Amino acid sequence: MRRGYFITFEGLDGSGKTTQLRRLATALESEGQSVVTLRQPGGTPLGDRIRGILLDSGSESAVGPIAPATEMALMFADRAQAIAEVIRPALAAGSILLCDRYTDSSEAYQGGGRQLGSQRILAMHAAACDNLQPDLTLLLLPPLESALKRARRRNQRHADKLGVDEGRFERESDEFYRRIYDKYEEIAAPEPYRIFRIRDDASIDFIHTRIREVVAARL
């Protein structure tokens, strides 16, 4: 039985979604809500290993080029594990599950960016996720140029300071990101109830307030 509430955060790298997820989690917890957070890929021991393979820009020098369909399948292997280990148990326990990326990311990045198309992604979603859909998706779509600038700057900082290299996607071309942006728009258009789009490049506080309003109205 599903009793909790499933919220996903979506957007381009550098869209600010992770900051917003943390702010929302803190706010809901301070109201006494039970909140579980998760990121994808990752969030389970197996998922964290898959994340390393997928995001490290050195991966391909170790294992060779990763084919787009392999990338898609690994994203869904990670997701299937997260559903079994974290998402379904949290929803069954009545928690609010906040997930940083989910199947819309696969449709935008692998379907759009890598040009596999939506149909293959949705077929994988049916097979691996039993079509489990979020109740609400917060899609942060600031202008492409500003998101990209932030993402590339942040990744360079992480690589320099922490020795964590998650730049396999960030080094892709601007055209790749344009396809992702357009795919997100295409995904959101027919689903205005599930997907709430935030286009502003406004302050963190301003966007947080809007997110609080939407979530409060839904809960």
Q: Note the residues at the interface with ligand TMP (CB under 6 A).
A: 13, 39-41, 55, 75, 101, 105-106, 109-110, 169
**Minimum distance, C-beta of residue 89 to ligand TMP, in the bound complex (Å):** 20
Check if the beta carbon of residue 108 is closer than 8 Å to that of residue 144. Answer: no
Between 110 and 137, name the residue whose CB sits nearer to ligand TMP: 110
| 106 closest CA partner among 86, 84, 126 | 126
Beta carbons within 8 Å of 53's beta carbon, 6+ residues apart: 59, 63, 66, 74
Between 33 and 73, name the residue whose CB sits nearer to ligand TMP: 73
**Minimum distance, C-beta of residue 100 to ligand TMP, in the bound complex (Å):** 6
**Minimum distance, C-beta of residue 94 to ligand TMP, in the bound complex (Å):** 25
Q: What is the DSSP string of 47-82?
A: HHHHHHHHH-TTHHHHH-PPPHHHHHHHHHHHHHHH
Between 33 and 59, name the residue whose CB sits nearer to ligand TMP: 59
* Separation of alpha carbons 24 and 125, rounded Å: 27
**Minimum distance, C-beta of residue 39 to ligand TMP, in the bound complex (Å):** 5
Check if the beta carbon of residue 10 is closer than 8 Å to that of residue 191. Answer: no
Residue nearest to ligand TMP (CB): 109
**Phi-psi domain of 171 (left: phi exceeds 0; alpha: psi -120 through 50; beta: other):** alpha
Between 94 and 143, name the residue whose CB sits nearer to ligand TMP: 143
Check if the beta carbon of residue 22 is closer than 8 Å to that of residue 9. Answer: no
Q: What's CA 82's distance to the chain center, in Å?
A: 13
**Minimum distance, C-beta of residue 13 to ligand TMP, in the bound complex (Å):** 5
Between 11 and 31, name the residue whose CB sits nearer to ligand TMP: 11
**Minimum distance, C-beta of residue 170 to ligand TMP, in the bound complex (Å):** 7
Between 37 and 110, name the residue whose CB sits nearer to ligand TMP: 110
